[in-house]
Structure 1
Amino acid sequence: MDKETLNYWKTVITFLHDVLGDNYEIILHVIDKNDIYIGELVNSHISGRSKNSPLTKFALDLITQKVYQEKDFVTNYKAIVSPLHKEVRGSTFFIKDKEGNLEGMLCINLDISAYQGVASDLLKLANLNLGQLIPTAPETTSTVALQEEPVEILTSNIQDIISEILDPSLLRHNVHLSQEVKIDIVTKLSEKGVFQLKGAVSKVADILCISEPSVYRYLKKIESD
């Protein structure tokens, strides 16, 4: 994304913030060839993230699965703020160049806690709760699909992203990992685009108890294979 395009989207975000107010977190993820970073962020109090925070696994999956080739945006998906377990609703707009290559993502997260509070207070006036108003129906294919709705985890910690991808048992420091397993781990993280995130090599080296040059050697081996 060139500077002119970046400044354009920053202006759009300023406009959206003035229109929507403080209940919406708005993030511009800039996608360069070897780097993904946050170019603009407003209302960060909603997720607790900063401009140095990593891309989420959910967003990485959108990129690696090339969802942007089929859609211009995805809307109204569930997101959880870690570690507060606060639910927000997210939407992502794909920013593409004239050839359809992905240059960035504009993400908007709505903090629904205030609305949940208002709804709860209204129901209390009638001595009701939300569960009483939703009928219980037999489980069907459609209800199962709803239960399997993708959930984005909003975090400022890159290790949380890695933990979503890998088997947690592999991340324990008392577990001995062979070189083959370490290469498999690096391969999986590379396929998910983790190494495009700032600080990923250092964090993976720490988790695997190896040096950063070793991580780069594994990546070079993976590329050559």
Structure 2
Amino acid sequence: MRLRRKPWVKDEIFQYTSYSVKEPREWKGKWNELFGNSHPIHAEFGTGRGRFITILAEQNPHINYIALEQKQEVLVQAVRKAVALELKNIRFILGNVNSLLEFLSPNEIERIYLNFVDPWPKKRHAKRRLTHHNYLNMYQQILQKNGSIHLKTDNEILFEFSLNEFSNHPSYQLHDISLNLYRNEENLEKYVQTEYEMKFIEQGKPIYRLEATLI
């Protein structure tokens, strides 16, 4: 369902100047300066309503987080969560993954999270999938050596596609592949879940997960 655009939402996002970054290009290569420390930086592309990234930020105060989301009606909810938790180690960007090289420099990111991204199921839309090799090439440019990409999805077709894309890319090594992450109930405590993920778990859907390391 298409979210109805509300003109006041963008204003609310950017009123939280300690959390939202209105001009991310100004901080290219200087994100640690913005955070005021030299801690590692992790990024989530497609942060949604922000449950996942805000919980991680709360649990890991010595890691900085960048959360990118293109839907402002969704992003505002993520920003509100961070404000309520008074988090100091997270910044939100209203934008698209296609522009990430405009505001992120080589070797600036230690880890990328891709959680339940749009599967773009039609073959003619394969290039839009965030694990297409064109995107993997982009991630390669901003990741540190031995940096990693963590993918979770409920879509079997996207997962199979992603496995092939990573396997065929010379710069990534796959590991920690799971075809049903929560078959082991201990993983419910080990991994932070997104809002969508919690619904899928309740419905008994398998969650697919992989990690890929830049070698």
TM-score (structure 1 length as normaliser): 0.29
Which protein is bigger by CA-based radius of gyration?
Answer: 1
As a proportion of its length, which structure holds more helix? Answer: 1
TM-score (structure 2 length as normaliser): 0.30
